[in-house]
Structures are given as C-alpha cells and as structure tokens.
C-alpha cells in the first residue's frame, strides 16, 4: 500500500526547475565568480583582522552572512528577471569597480578596498542580468554596503556631538540623584575615578549595526508597505542613542561601586552586547506598538 501527498510532486518539480534555472543562469559566469572569490578572500581576511576584531566592526560578519543569504534567497527572482546587458557595458562596469578595488588595495585603505569590492558585486549582478537583475537585488546590495568601514575623519565628526550629548545627559541625571560626578566635555569625574566617553560609547557603532539589522527586519517583515517601513526606520537612531545612554550609565555606576578594574574588564564588553540587545528590543517594541497604524494603512 502506498500513499501520496497531493501537490508534493508538483512542489518537487517546481523546486527542481528553480534549481535548473539558477544553474543555467550562473553556468556561463563561473569564471567571473571564481575571479571575484580570489579578490574577496584577501579583503575579508583584512577586514577580519583590522575591523571585525574591534567593537566598532563586530557587526561585519553578521552583515556578510545575512547579506549572502539574502542574495541566495533572491536568486530565483534574479534568474527570472535576468536580461544580459551589452558586453561593453558589462565590461565597463566590472572594469570601473576593479579600478576602485585595486586603488584601495595599493594604497592600503581598507574602506576604499571594501567599497571597490562591493561595487564589484553590483557590477557582477549587472553583468549576469542587466538592470532588471539590479532591481530585483537592490536590497541585498544596499544591505551589503554596511560592510564598508567609514573613514576615521567621518567617524570623528559624527561621534563627537553624540559623545558630548551623552556625557552631559549622564552627568546631569546622576547629579540629580546625588552621585558625586562632573564632566568636562567627554571626560567624566565620578568619585575618585576619571572616565572617558570613547567612540564606542557614542552610539555610532550601535546606529550602524542597528540600522543594518533593523533594515533587514523591516525588509523581511514589512517590505510590501514602504510607508510603514520608513516610519519604523525613523526610530532606529533614537533607539540606538537611548541604548548607548543606558550603557554609559551602567559603566559609570559599575566604576563607582565596583572599581575601574571591574568596569573595564569583561563587563565592559558585556555592556556593549547588552546595549545592542536593548536597542534591538526597543525597535521590536515600537513595531508592536505601531501595529494599529500598520493595520490602518494596510486597510487603505
């Protein structure tokens, strides 16, 4: 006796056809994929040693893995939409991206090198399937751009106002509840201890990582409603700043009550993870609270 599940055969056939379509689409371009891998591996190795090993770039491996997953997830759409562009346009796009990559590699600037590598990904998608493929893969390509490290001058320019604002707010709050604390710019004096609100505590790192993860969350859950997606995205920056404010308060209190050695040890790194969890949880809560707005817009 045997039994069959209705529709199971059609589902298997559909999956096999999808795999066949992808294989036919990628088949002629395997040499380009191997060439890209030869460029990408040294860059990812440098990113792992220079950027991802620091607190500022810890989100890099997560973005890389989820970005590649998104591209793989979109590959059926890419295969369907693919329209080969003129050869000269494909060569021009790939050549321009490679020039940026080689320049960054030669001068030793990891940001330019990574930017050139991401442009190479865009050029490869264009070479594979033309403008329709770019439209189908726009979000994974945009999402992978978060791998590009910001220049130090830009980081310093963006973090200074955040560091000053968080330092002043933390000082005023703790003074109001009776703690012996004062600040001069981003330098805090709490009891016998002197603390410096560093770049990692400014909020920029959390803003970048939370923006990336928040965009992924919004895209996967609310991609069909762009108005609501934009509304939810507006809350990413305040959530990141609030979370870093909580982090600075925790580190100040740890230093005052347990000493500098405790605050700057394992708990300092744990506070960074806790900060990101608070920020991400805040976005989830806001999404839940805005559910009536989402439902109202969906009805319209």
Active site residues per annotation: 201, 247
Strands (E), the chain: 181-184, 187-190, 193-196
Q: Cα–Cα distances in Å, from 266 out to 59, 198, 206, 261, 293?
A: 19, 17, 19, 9, 42
CB within 8 A of 234, min separation 6: which ones? none
- Does residue 174 contact residue 204 with C-beta atoms inside 8 Å? no
Pair of tokens at residue 3: 């039994």
Task: Report residue 185 CA to chain centroid gap.
Answer: 30
CB within 8 A of 125, min separation 6: which ones? 78, 133, 134, 137, 141
CB within 8 A of 145, min separation 6: which ones? 118
d(CA 13, CA 109): 48
Exposed/middle/buried for residue 21 (C-beta within 10 Å: 0-12, 13-18, 19+): middle
């Amino acid at each position: 006796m045997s039994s069959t599940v209705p529709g199971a055969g059609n589902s298997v056939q559909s999956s096999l056809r999808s795999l066949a379509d992808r294989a036919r689409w990628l088949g002629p371009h395997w040499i380009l994929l191997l060439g890209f891998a030869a460029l990408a591996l040294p860059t990812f190795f440098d990113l792992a040693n220079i950027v991802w090993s620091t607190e500022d770039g810890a989100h890099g491996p997560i973005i890389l893995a989820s970005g590649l997953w998104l591209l793989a997830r979109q590959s059926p759409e890419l295969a369907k939409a693919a329209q080969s562009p003129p050869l000269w346009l494909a060569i021009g796009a790939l050549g321009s991206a490679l020039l940026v990559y080689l320049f960054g590699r030669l001068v030793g600037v990891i940001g330019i090198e990574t930017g050139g590598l991401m442009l190479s990904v865009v050029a490869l998608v264009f070479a594979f399937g033309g403008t329709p493929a770019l439209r189908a893969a726009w979000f994974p390509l945009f999402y992978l751009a978060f791998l590009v490290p910001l220049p130090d001058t830009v980081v310093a320019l963006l973090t200074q106002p955040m560091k000053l604002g968080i330092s002043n707010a933390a000082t005023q709050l703790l003074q109001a509840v009776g703690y012996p604390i004062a600040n001069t710019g981003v330098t805090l004096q709490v009891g016998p201890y002197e603390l410096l609100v560093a770049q990692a505590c400014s909020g920029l790192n959390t803003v970048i990582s939370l923006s990336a993860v928040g965009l992924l969350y919004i895209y996967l859950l609310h991609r069909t409603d762009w108005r609501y997606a934009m509304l939810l995205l507006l809350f990413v920056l305040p959530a990141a700043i609030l979370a870093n404010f909580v982090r600075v308060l925790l580190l100040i209190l740890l230093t005052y009550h347990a000493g500098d050695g405790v605050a700057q040890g394992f708990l300092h790194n744990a506070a960074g993870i806790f900060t990101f969890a608070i920020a991400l949880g805040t976005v989830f809560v806001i999404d839940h609270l805005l559910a009536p707005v989402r439902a109202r817009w969906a009805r319209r």
